A and B are shown apart, each in its own frame.
Chain A
């Protein structure tokens, strides 16, 4: 009743035997122990579980681990590179973009993706792209500011995303 999946997560390949029904979020959290991505709602409404699959954000509570076989996943644990925070991470610190921290990893992953495709987004673009992700603490204001901060501080250190776009 299990199948073998090989998933590259944050640059490292993991091979596991899993039940085909296993949700991607549980694979990442329970099987690989990467608990930075969270589970929040079952119905793909809250976005706590957003990570990247092949370079695009996805609500990982609504995909199977099997569907990620042979693909590349990037999670919040893969944002920091060589001990240096990604600008979106720094932005969330600078602008108080988080309180309880539960939605944060999903917000960071979406923000990183936005900036990779729109390096200079305005407030409306930022609000639009995170509109499928719920934050119960910040009222979104400081998340918007955090992403803007990151946009303004990206500079030359922008990193290439992993996985094919």
Chain B
């Protein structure tokens, strides 16, 4: 039977309280619990102390603030999916949230929890990486910021240290930008076989737009920092057209390192990277309003 091993439990009364509890090296923060508790049931995770941060409602916000979309770590997946402002600035987040787990899990699972779980197949990491988001980390001595592209050190490993907590994610909101996320899974609710997110900023004439900057995030395919850096570089300054998108997809496919598993063989996953990157770029471009 799958039940957790013994653990202590404390409910954080404040952010400071949480941070002080989390200085214990064997402590883990729990919010939605939908990543951590299954790991505990399998006894793959055996923290000695759980710090319940669900009471820190000051971290539940989603707001547009000073040119940035700010998403509190405790915002639930459903909150992000329901957020009109997030959907307007970054439809990629709505695309991604629609395919994260299922509607009930999304009611409880948090944005911060997903990022901190650092599962290579988790969708939001690639979406935030594509958007060049910044993680805001609170520690007892104050806060530090880390680009999401440097947030993950490897599978299930992040830069968060003892006594620290991911507090929010900030995403710059730029004009003439479109974004999209494309995922293929074996079934609704399953992890990605592969997925690609794209954020495109365009310039130039409406009838012949040019790519000002591109962000491409890749899920579950062994992409370094969840991004396709070479493809991003390739796109800069090029025409936002099918030829560019397909070429970028091919570059992204070459640059990742998917591993064969029951979701698919390596060649298929690499093919998907090309296909989904191309599709995400196409849809992102179609969402750009150049007059905005």
Contacts and interface: CB of A to CB of B under 8 A. Distances in A.
Contact, chains A and B (beta carbon distance below 8 A): yes
Contact of A57 (B3, B107, B188): B107
Given A23-B3, A131-B189, A132-B189, A64 B104 contact: no
Given A20-B9, A63-B33, A50 B52 contact: no
Interface band, chain A:
20 to 34
A3 B8 CA distance: 9
Contacts of A145: none
Nearest to A56: B107
Interface string B1-41: 01111111101000000000000000000100110011011
Contact of A50 (B5, B7, B40, B104): B104
A112 interface: no
B55 to A, nearest CB: 9
B46 to A, nearest CB: 10
A69 interface: yes
A47 B33 contact: no
Given A42-B41, A44-B38, A131-B189, A20 B50 contact: yes
B6 A62 contact: no
A26 B41 CA distance: 13
A132 B104 contact: yes
A21 B189 contact: no
Interface in B62-117: 101-105, 107-108
A75 B2 CA distance: 23
A1 B104 CA distance: 31
Nearest to A3: B9
A23 B108 CA distance: 15
A21 to B, nearest CB: 4
Contacts of B34: 44, 59, 62
Interface string B229-273: 000000000000000000000000000000000000000000000
A64 B11 contact: no
B38 A42 contact: yes
B242 to A, nearest CB: 31
Interface residues of B, number: 28
Contact of A58 (B5, B8, B108): B108
B54 interface: yes
A131 B54 contact: no
Given A3-B9, A19-B6, A67 B103 contact: no
B107 A58 contact: yes
Contacts of B8: 20
B101 A132 contact: yes
Contacts of B101: 132
A20 B30 CA distance: 13
Contacts of A20: 6-9, 50
B52 A67 contact: yes
A132 B103 contact: yes
Interface in B138-178: none
Interface string A1-24: 101000000000000000111010
A43 interface: yes
A131 B38 contact: no
Contacts of B38: 42-44, 62
Given A66-B9, A129-B103, 10 more contacts: A42-B38, A45-B189, A47-B104, A62-B33, A62-B38, A63-B33, A64-B30, A64-B33, A64-B37, A67-B52
Q: Which 10 A-B pairs have the closest CB atoms?
A: A132-B102, A20-B9, A42-B2, A21-B4, A66-B9, A132-B104, A56-B107, A62-B37, A57-B104, A21-B7
23 contacts: A3-B9, A20-B7, A20-B9, A21-B5, A21-B6, A44-B34, A50-B104, A57-B107, A58-B104, A58-B107, A59-B34, A59-B108, A62-B108, A63-B33, A64-B9, A66-B9, A67-B54, A131-B102, A131-B188, A132-B102, A132-B103, A133-B102, A133-B104
Interface of A: 1, 3, 19-21, 23, 26, 42-45, 47, 50, 56-59, 62-64, 66-67, 69, 110, 128-129, 131-133
